[in-house]
Amino acid sequence: MCGIVGFIGKEEAAPILLDGLSRLEYRGYDSAGLAVYGEDNGVRVVKTKGRLQALFDLTQGGATLHGAVGLGHTRWATHGEPSDVNSHPHVSERGRFVVVHNGIIENYAELREFLQRKGVRFASQTDSEVVAQLLEYHYREDFLEAVRKTLGQLRGAYALGILCADAPDKLVAVRKDSPLVLGHGDDFQMLASDVTAVIKYTREVTYLDNGELAIITAQGFQVYDSYFQPVEKERHHVDWEISAAEKGGYEHFMAKEIMEQPEAFRKTVFPRIRDGRVVLDDLCFDRDYLGKLDKIYIIACGSSYHVGMVAKYNFERLLRKPVEVALASEFRYSEPIVTKSTLALVISQSGETIDTLTAMREAKRLGARVLSIVNVVGSSIARESDDVLYTWAGPEIAVATTKAYSTQMALTYLIALYFADLMQTISREEYSEVVSELLLVPTKLEQILAQRDSVQYFASLYFNQPSIFFIGRNIDYAIGLEGSLKLKEISYIHSEAYAAGELKHGTISLIEPGTLVVALASYGPLFEKMMSNIVEVKSRGADVVGLTVESRVEGIHRIADHVMEVPDTHPMLLPSLDVVPLQLFAYYIALQRGCDIDKPRNLAKSVTVE
Ligand code: M6R
């Protein structure tokens, strides 16, 4: 979704803003723009539909815009088609206010009508322009008063960067439901939608909380709460390297992130295992509380939801408590049955997905205790949860998640073991076996990745398929959901994931000679049943690529056309291994088809609108 960058200091702002925007490209966008204030020219705005390169070319890398204060924006269209005029920054009719916005102004139509009745002429079709025009409408030579009055009229979600030509020694940043972070240098300040845009210049950052506003000058900043009272903020030091957000020799971020999974898994899991035991220092659950749980609600979207689908199998088997997995966008409007004895497990890489965030708030309102799994430190979901466990995946840039999925999954294993241990629902033998196997997962992942050429070969056989089915049972079905989503997202091939036993209740009518079916058959207890399902699709002419564990390869080779294999492990950990060939399969197919792998069409990394 939209990306915001702001800079105020002594250097030329435009090249820094362009660099910041390039680091936000991964969020997904369709147009981009810059506004820079210079003493000689006042405010100059350049904006254009299309990729950042077009903006770069138009401004000669920023060289044509002079001034040490400015705002930049990448837009993911919601209201109004992608076009030059709908791109941000938006400027008020008299040219005094410049605004960049991420989010949706829900009451923009009525505000627009109100302003039009007052004679204001709008240039764009966007909801965002009303903010600039409203600021101008309320302006009586007091910038902050105009901001205060404008905010009082806005409904919806917004992160705003505001520049006033009458007060170019400051920027104003406002955050409501859409993330914003401030970056602090010795003689400059920045603001951005996330830290990747500022990390090249400073590692000292402050996360704005919901409802907060910051007045930023080159020398410093002051944050105010929603009642305009000053608040003291904690500064954070970002400790990852800028190289973590760069491709490092890989053709795509997705390829790099797939290859980083063994290390990401190690970082997330190993520090939390001591002397053969899972130690979650950040959590303080007790047996009594867990015993009284009526339900665990897992709430998430997209791939994070697929992690929840796997976790359901593992949690229910180990904890013997009912687990419901809810799509966050559905949860909130479904009158969910949540009590004070419900635990909500909220899963989100970004920690900013608006559907997940609002569903989490609803769960809390209804009395649930919220435990979240989040990758981005300081994100909204992390801060609003009762308990949070961070995945230490590092920044994930490709829109299609890989290492975040894997580390989220890893944390669900640790939570399952930690709860089962407290509840005494797991035998000592199984507990020790799973812990030992967990420590072997990174090495096994390295083995799988070393054989990626064979997956590339299968991809070269099937990259022209119009449609691909993924089938599996139990945990294999849940992994198939993720394999299918990966493929759809980046290769644009139609795909469906089906519980293998359900196929014959309708979908099997779509199987015809040559249809590709990826059959997941790694879950031991249902292996024989899966073989029957594979035979069913083979008899209708399907081509089958099987996916199984080493010890069962022979069984499936007799039926399938091709087989991808992963090392054996404890059944509950299979998703961590199985998902990797599926990620690679999607990646190589998309590569063969010449797709824009890191920035697939229509998609955004962090979905901050409902
Ligand atoms: O940041 P989140 O984990 O909350 O994001 C949820 C989904 O938008 C995300 O998993 C999406 O499905 C991915 N692009 C899938 O690769």
Other beta carbons less than 10 A from residue 490's beta carbon? 28
The answer, yes or no, to whether residue 53 has pLDDT greater than 80, is yes
Active centre residues (catalytic): 2, 605
Nearest-CA residue for ligand 1 atom 11 is 302
Are residues 444 and 374 part of one domain?
yes
Dihedrals phi, psi of 513, to nearest 5 degrees: -50, 130
Measured in Å, residue 93 CA sits from the centre of ligand 1 at: 38
Are residues 78 and 157 part of one domain?
yes
Measured in Å, residue 541 CA sits from the centre of ligand 1 at: 34
pLDDT in tens, 295-343: 999 999 999 999 999 999 999 999 999 999 999 999 988 999 999 999 9
The answer, yes or no, to whether residue 1 has pLDDT greater than 80, is no
Are residues 193 and 220 part of one domain?
yes
Is the distance from the beta carbon of residue 489 to the nearest atom of ligand 1 less than 6 Å?
yes
Are residues 88 and 103 part of one domain?
yes
Give residue 387's pLDDT band: very low, low, confident or very high (50, 70, 90).
Answer: very high
Measured in Å, residue 392 CA sits from the centre of ligand 1 at: 16
Contact indicator for 88, 33 with CB cutoff of 8 Å: yes
The answer, yes or no, to whether residue 508 has pLDDT greater than 90, is no
Q: Report helix, strand or coil for 187.
A: coil
Which residue, chain included where needed, has tokens 């053969």?
A: 276
What letter represents residue 163's amino acid? Answer: L
Measured in Å, residue 115 CA sits from the centre of ligand 1 at: 37
In angstroms, rounded to a whole number, what is the distance separating the alpha carbons of residues 158 and 169? 23
Atom of ligand 1 nearest to the CA of 302: 12
Is the distance from the beta carbon of residue 356 to the nearest atom of ligand 1 less than 6 Å?
yes
Query: Last residue of a domain, which of 401, 419, 448?
Result: 448
340: buried, middle or exposed (CB in 10 Å: 19+, 13-18, 0-12)? Answer: exposed
Cα distances from 259 to residues 266, 438, 442, 479, 570, in angstroms, run 13, 18, 11, 19, 22
Look at residue 460 and tell me if it is in a domain.
Answer: yes
Are residues 492 and 420 part of one domain?
no
pLDDT in tens, 91-130: 999 999 999 999 889 999 999 999 999 999 999 999 999 9
Atom of ligand 1 nearest to the CA of 486: 16
Interacting residues of 350 by C-beta distance below 8 A, sequence separation 6+: 374, 375, 376, 379, 605, 606
Measured in Å, residue 110 CA sits from the centre of ligand 1 at: 33
The answer, yes or no, to whether residue 576 has pLDDT greater than 90, is yes
Give residue 350's pLDDT band: very low, low, confident or very high (50, 70, 90).
Answer: very high
Are residues 231 and 206 part of one domain?
yes
Measured in Å, residue 249 CA sits from the centre of ligand 1 at: 25
In testing the pocket of ligand 1, which one of 407, 601, 607 has its CB within 8 Å of the most ligand atoms? 607
Dihedrals phi, psi of 5, to nearest 5 degrees: -135, 140
In angstroms, rounded to a whole number, what is the distance separating the alpha carbons of residues 469 and 314? 24
**pLDDT value at residue 239:** 78
**pLDDT value at residue 444:** 98
Measured in Å, residue 373 CA sits from the centre of ligand 1 at: 13
pLDDT in tens, 66-86: 999 999 999 988 888 888 889
Dihedrals phi, psi of 309, to nearest 5 degrees: -65, -40
Strands (E), 483-531: 494-499, 516-520
Are residues 226 and 353 part of one domain?
no
Atom of ligand 1 nearest to the CA of 408: 3
Tokens of 285: 């659950």
The arithmetic mean of pLDDT across residues 193-200, rounded, is 91
Contact indicator for 331, 362 with CB cutoff of 8 Å: yes
pLDDT in tens, 239-281: 777 777 778 789 999 999 999 999 999 999 999 999 999 999 8
The bridge status of strand 181-184 relative to strand 204-207 is: antiparallel
Cα distances from 277 to residues 273, 280, 437, 514, in angstroms, run 5, 10, 12, 49
Are residues 488 and 459 part of one domain?
yes
Tokens of 73: 């924006």
pLDDT in tens, 176-188: 888 899 999 999 9
Note the pTM of the prediction, 2 decimals.
0.79
- Residue-range definition of the domain harbouring residue 65: 3-239
Atom of ligand 1 nearest to the CA of 381: 4
The answer, yes or no, to whether residue 6 has pLDDT greater than 80, is yes
Look at residue 608 and tell me if it is in a domain.
Answer: no
Output the DSSP codes for 352-364: --HHHHHHHHHHH
Query: Last residue of a domain, which of 396, 430, 448?
Result: 448
Interacting residues of 58 by C-beta distance below 8 A, sequence separation 6+: 46, 48, 64
What 3 state SS string does 385-422 have? CCEEEECCCCCCCCCCCCHHHHHHHHHHHHHHHHHHHH
Which residue, chain included where needed, has tokens 């039009």?
A: 116
Are residues 119 and 234 part of one domain?
yes
**Smallest Cα–Cα separation from 576: which of 418, 376, 474, 442?**
442
Look at residue 121 and tell me if it is in a domain.
Answer: yes
Letter string b/e over residues 123-148, b meaning 16 or more CB atoms within 10 A of that residue's CB: ebebbbbbbbbbbbbbbeeebeebbe
Nearest-CA residue for ligand 1 atom 14 is 400
Interacting residues of 197 by C-beta distance below 8 A, sequence separation 6+: 3, 5, 20, 21, 23, 24, 190
**pLDDT value at residue 122:** 92
Omega prior to 15 cis, within 30 of 0: no
**Smallest Cα–Cα separation from 454: which of 574, 549, 589, 581?**
581
Give residue 601's pLDDT band: very low, low, confident or very high (50, 70, 90).
Answer: confident
Are residues 495 and 575 part of one domain?
yes
Percentage of residues in the chain having pLDDT higher than 90: 83
Is the distance from the beta carbon of residue 350 to the nearest atom of ligand 1 less than 6 Å?
yes
Residue 524 sits at the vertex; the CA angle it makes with 520 and 529, to the nearest 5 degrees, is 65
Look at residue 602 and tell me if it is in a domain.
Answer: no
**pLDDT value at residue 194:** 87
Look at residue 605 and tell me if it is in a domain.
Answer: no
Is the distance from the beta carbon of residue 359 to the nearest atom of ligand 1 less than 6 Å?
no
Percentage of residues in the chain having pLDDT higher than 70: 100
The answer, yes or no, to whether residue 51 has pLDDT greater than 80, is yes
Is the distance from the beta carbon of residue 206 to the nearest atom of ligand 1 less than 6 Å?
no
Give residue 593's pLDDT band: very low, low, confident or very high (50, 70, 90).
Answer: very high
Is the distance from the beta carbon of residue 407 to the nearest atom of ligand 1 less than 6 Å?
no
Nearest-CA residue for ligand 1 atom 16 is 400
Look at residue 98 and tell me if it is in a domain.
Answer: yes
Is the distance from the beta carbon of residue 583 to the nearest atom of ligand 1 less than 6 Å?
no
Dihedrals phi, psi of 468, to nearest 5 degrees: -135, 135
Look at residue 224 and tell me if it is in a domain.
Answer: yes
The arithmetic mean of pLDDT across residues 171-179, rounded, is 91
Which residue, chain included where needed, has tokens 């506003």?
A: 213
Cα distances from 278 to residues 62, 408, 426, in angstroms, run 51, 16, 13
What letter represents residue 519's amino acid? Answer: A
Query: Last residue of a domain, which of 239, 262, 294?
Result: 239
**pLDDT value at residue 107:** 92
Residue 551: give its domain's CATH number.
Answer: 3.40.50.10490
Give residue 378's pLDDT band: very low, low, confident or very high (50, 70, 90).
Answer: confident
Is the distance from the beta carbon of residue 549 to the nearest atom of ligand 1 less than 6 Å?
no
In the chain, the largest separation of any two C-alpha atoms, in whole Å, equals: 80
Are residues 47 and 188 part of one domain?
yes
Is the distance from the beta carbon of residue 22 to the nearest atom of ligand 1 less than 6 Å?
no
Give the number of domains in the chain: 3
164 sits in which H/E element: strand 156-164
Tokens of 528: 């024989």
Residue 185: give its domain's CATH number.
Answer: 3.60.20.10
Look at residue 603 and tell me if it is in a domain.
Answer: no
The answer, yes or no, to whether residue 64 has pLDDT greater than 90, is yes
| Average pLDDT score over the chain | 94
In angstroms, rounded to a whole number, what is the distance separating the alpha carbons of residues 610 and 591? 31
Are residues 549 and 413 part of one domain?
no
Is the distance from the beta carbon of residue 401 to the nearest atom of ligand 1 less than 6 Å?
yes
- Residue bearing the bigger pLDDT, 90 or 157: 90
